[in-house]
Structures are given as structure tokens and as C-alpha cells.
Amino acid sequence: MSDPVSTALFELAKQVIPGGVNSPVRAFRAVGGAPVFIARAEGAQLYGADGRAYLDYVGSWGPAILGHAQPDVVGAVRDAAGRGLSFGAPTELEVRFAEAVRRLYPSIAKLRCTSSGTEATMSAIRVARGFTRRDVVVKFEGCYHGHADHLLVKAGSGAATFGVPDSAGVPAGTAATTVTLPYNDLAALRALFAARGSEIATVIVEPVVGNMGCVPPVDGFLAAIIDLCREHGAVSIFDEVMTGCRVAAGGAQERFGLVPDMTCLGKIVGGGMPLAVYGGRDDIMAMVAPVGPVYQAGTLSGNPIAVSAGLATLERLTPALYAQLEERAAALGEGLARAARDAKVSACVQRVGAMFTLFFCDGPVRSWADASRADTSRFGAWHRGLLARGVYWPPSQFEAAFLGAAHTADDIARTIEVARAALDDA
Ligand code: KE4
């Protein structure tokens, strides 16, 4: 159960903020109880409003790969803040940041900063539509790319029919230019291109899905997206807002050795500050105003404080960090799978690098149709058991959990034991 301080704060919050939260998943509706209100965080630990400590596996939904309040990142933010918070004018910092991103993502010839992942994907799609002079956007069921209207769309009646809104307030006409296919379904993708290839502006994909829980791509799926887009004059967009700097310093495209036409980044690149990126091939990015006819702008785009946090983070994404994350995440994944087997619970662990999910269903989970079979009420009971024992897990079966540099081997061992005990509650 949540602490009384958080519960009281939650009641106050609900008087002034819809659902008491500034983003829906934080409301704990999928797992029950009041959300923990966080007072501060350091390393791998969160501290609730009542002072209670929690071992954190959300990491602000990915950004905290170096651990919370990492001294060098905080120092960079403090220094930058002393020089002014925002200028609405170009700075050298933005140039250095863009150069640092390009070194990690050679597929990005030019990039633009935005203040959120939603802005990054929304802008990338607008640029792809301007570049191809086509309207149709292809996405995959279970993938989330932020809350722009044309991305809040679910599959229509048939696999390759146009989408229907997945949120109130999205006009049917907007949804109708988005086609949603099953993730990892190569046949459906090929069939769509065969039928409508000349209408498709872009295919946007989470190269490793985090937003239905961690679902890796099957061999050949991502390469097929890139190849089919090239063949039909469409633009492939890797939405690496979550996977970027997470599954490798250079993201999924580095891990899998692929070259998408455009890439979106967020979360880790901003070190936890409001900073995201979209970019890609020179000829495509030449479409962006003021050079080209596709308009995109932002008062706080490339904000010097956010960019300082991003730069300080990128500079610390070392091979040693990823080796440590791989070792610790593998130990945790194996420990969770063993605990589920010992408890005779139908479950599977899916992991790519330091992003992972314990699904309460048999694996493999390759698509939304698979993921939606998970026992969400059992997940909720397990989550409450973890929380009661001081482990803060993503409050939804359909989210990925994350490890950071500050998680120790002892933290992993403790988490496995706590997970084992919580499985008995679930
Ligand atoms: P933001 O607009 O939330 O910065 O980014 C949207 C976005 C785009 N693409 C991917 C692959 C993403 O995962 C996200 C946002 N991720 C969610 C967590 N699954 C953010 C948490 C939230 O919505 O509160």
C-alpha cells in the first residue's frame, strides 16, 4: 500500500490536475493504490514523500541510465543555469550536442532538437510526408510514439485497413491516414507495400518495443522495413526515444547494424531534462524550415540547460557502462525467470540490454496479440508486493523496466529475492 503522505498528496493533486498526475501512466491505475509521490532521488534510489527508500527500475521511464542526481550531470546543469536559463537564440552548446549525437548516430546527417519525444516523432513524420509528398503513415500495434493525433490510432477492422482513433478528440480523417500492422509481421508489411506502396510516406517503428513491454524484433523485420521503404520511395523512421543510448550508445541501429532514413531520440539524450531529437539523411532534413518548406519550431528547442544535461550524459556513455549494464541486467533477467519457474507461474522475461519486462504469460511475446494475453491482475498483485518491499517497478505490465549504472550486484540480488517473495503474493 502507498504511504499516507503520498495518499494525502494524491487527493490534493486530483483537485487540481486531471487524475492527479501530469502523465496518465503515473496514476498507478493499472496496479491499484495511490502512486508514490517522490521527494528526491539519488543513484538507483527513489525517496518517497514520507522519506521511504525504493530501488528504482523505472528510471524516469529510461533517462536515468547514469543513476539519479549524477554529480557531473547535476554540475553541468548548475553551471549552465548560472549563465541564464533560455535565450531563444543559437548557442555553441547546441552545436557541440548535435556533433556528439552525430558521432553516436552516423545515420543522422542533420538533426533538430525538440522538447519531447512526441514533438520529435510528430516532426519527423511531417518531414517524411513533405519529402515524399504522400500522406499514409504506417505504425505497429503496441508501439507508442507519443501523443500526436495521427499516432493515437489503432488498427481498423482488417490488418491493412486504415486506422480508427485510439483517443477521444482525434478526428476520423486524421486516423484514416494511419495504417496499423501487427509488430514483427513481415508478411503483413510486404502485403501492405505491395498494395499501397506508392501511397506510403513513412513507416515508424520502435526498433525494440518498450511500450507493450519489451518485445525484440524478429530477425529481418527491421531490415525489411528499411528495404521496403527504399524500394517504394518511403521514409523509414526508427523511433529510438526509448532504445536510443539504452540498448547501445548508438541505439538499436548500432546494436543491429542498420541504417534507417530518420531517427528520433529522447529520454537518455537529455539526461532527464526536456530534450529530444529528430534527424536523418541530408536530403530529407533539407526539407526543414528555414531551409525547406516543412515548418517546425520550438521556443525551448535546444534549451541550454537541457543540452548541458544531455552533453554531460552522452560523454559518460562508455563501453564499460554498457558491459556492466549487460552483466547486471542478464543476472536480473535470469533471476526473475528462475523465480517465476520455482513459483510455477506462467511468465517469461524478455530483455534487450538494460531494458526488460517480466510478462505474466508464456513466451515468446512477439506482438500486441501475444502481450495482451498477459495476466494483468497478477502483474498488479506482484507490483504491489514489490512496492511494499521497497522495489519500484513500472506500474504497468505493458512497460519496460530499466537498469542504470548505479544499480549494484547486491541491488540485483535483493531485487530477485523481493521478486520471489512478491510472486508468492501475486
Ligand atoms: P515523450 O513525449 O513522452 O517525451 O515521448 C514520447 C515517446 C515516443 N517514443 C517512444 C518509443 C516512447 O517510449 C515515448 C514515451 N514513453 C513513455 C513510456 N512508455 C513515457 C512515459 C509517459 O508517457 O509518462
Are residues 310 and 295 part of one domain? yes
The contacts of residue 230 (CB under 8 Å, 6+ apart) are: 236, 261
Q: Which is the closest atom of ligand 1 to the Cα of 274?
A: 4
| Residue ranges with strand state E in 177-333 | 178-181, 200-205, 235-240, 262-265, 276-280
Are residues 58 and 168 part of one domain? no
With DSSP H G I counted as helix, E B as strand and the rest as coil, what are the percentages for the chain, rounded to 5? 40, 20, 40
Are residues 249 and 323 part of one domain? no
* Host domain of residue 397: 4-69+318-425
Q: What is the pLDDT along the chain (426 residues), one digit of tens a residue?
A: 568 999 999 999 999 999 999 999 999 999 999 999 999 999 999 999 999 999 999 999 999 999 999 999 999 999 999 999 999 999 999 999 999 999 999 999 999 999 999 999 999 999 999 999 999 999 999 999 999 999 999 865 554 456 778 889 999 899 999 999 999 999 999 999 999 999 999 999 999 999 999 999 999 999 999 999 999 999 999 999 999 999 999 999 999 999 999 999 999 999 999 999 999 999 999 999 999 999 999 999 999 999 999 999 999 999 999 999 999 999 999 999 999 999 999 999 999 999 999 999 999 999 999 999 999 999 999 999 999 999 999 999 999 999 999 999 999 999 999 999 999 988
Domain total for the chain? 2
**Active-site residue identified among 105, 144, 278, 322:** 144
Q: Residue 116 burial by CB count (10 A; 0-12/13-18/19+): exposed, middle or buried?
A: middle
Are residues 161 and 201 part of one domain? yes
- The per-residue pLDDT for 69 is 98
> Domain boundary residue among 272, 294, 314?
314
**What's 209's domain CATH number?**
3.40.640.10
- The per-residue pLDDT for 159 is 45
CA of 338 relative to ligand 1 center, distance in Å: 30
- The per-residue pLDDT for 260 is 99
Which residue do the cell numbers 496496479 mark? Answer: 31
Residue in 29, 61, 125 to alter for ligand 1 test, most ligand atoms within 8 A of Cβ: 61
Q: Are 260 and 367 in contact, with CB atoms under 8 Å apart?
A: no
Are residues 270 and 356 part of one domain? no
Are residues 355 and 287 part of one domain? no
CA of 61 relative to ligand 1 center, distance in Å: 8
Residue nearest to atom 24 of ligand 1 (CA): 23
CB of residue 121 inside a 6 A radius of ligand 1: yes
CA of 425 relative to ligand 1 center, distance in Å: 30
Are residues 106 and 147 part of one domain? yes
Residue in 206, 214, 263, 267 to alter for ligand 1 test, most ligand atoms within 8 A of Cβ: 267
Are residues 280 and 158 part of one domain? yes
Residue in 145, 245, 278 to alter for ligand 1 test, most ligand atoms within 8 A of Cβ: 145
CA of 187 relative to ligand 1 center, distance in Å: 28
Catalytic annotation on 57?
A: no
- The per-residue pLDDT for 161 is 56
CB of residue 239 inside a 6 A radius of ligand 1: yes
The contacts of residue 122 (CB under 8 Å, 6+ apart) are: 146, 148, 151
CB of residue 23 inside a 6 A radius of ligand 1: yes
Catalytic annotation on 72?
A: no
**Active-site residue identified among 267, 322, 370, 411:** 267
Alpha-carbon distance 155 to 163, whole Å? Answer: 5
Are residues 86 and 198 part of one domain? yes
CA of 400 relative to ligand 1 center, distance in Å: 11
CA of 145 relative to ligand 1 center, distance in Å: 7
- The per-residue pLDDT for 425 is 85
Global model pTM greater than 0.75:
yes
Asked whether the bond before 260 is cis by omega within 30 degrees of 0, the reply is no
Are residues 335 and 208 part of one domain? no
CB of residue 398 inside a 6 A radius of ligand 1: no
Are residues 203 and 155 part of one domain? yes
CA of 242 relative to ligand 1 center, distance in Å: 7
Catalytic annotation on 110?
A: no
**What's 30's domain CATH number?**
3.90.1150.10
Are residues 253 and 195 part of one domain? yes
**Active-site residue identified among 56, 185, 239, 261:** 239
CB of residue 299 inside a 6 A radius of ligand 1: no
> Domain boundary residue among 261, 281, 314?
314
> Domain boundary residue among 314, 341, 369?
314
| Local structure of 21: helix, strand or coil | coil
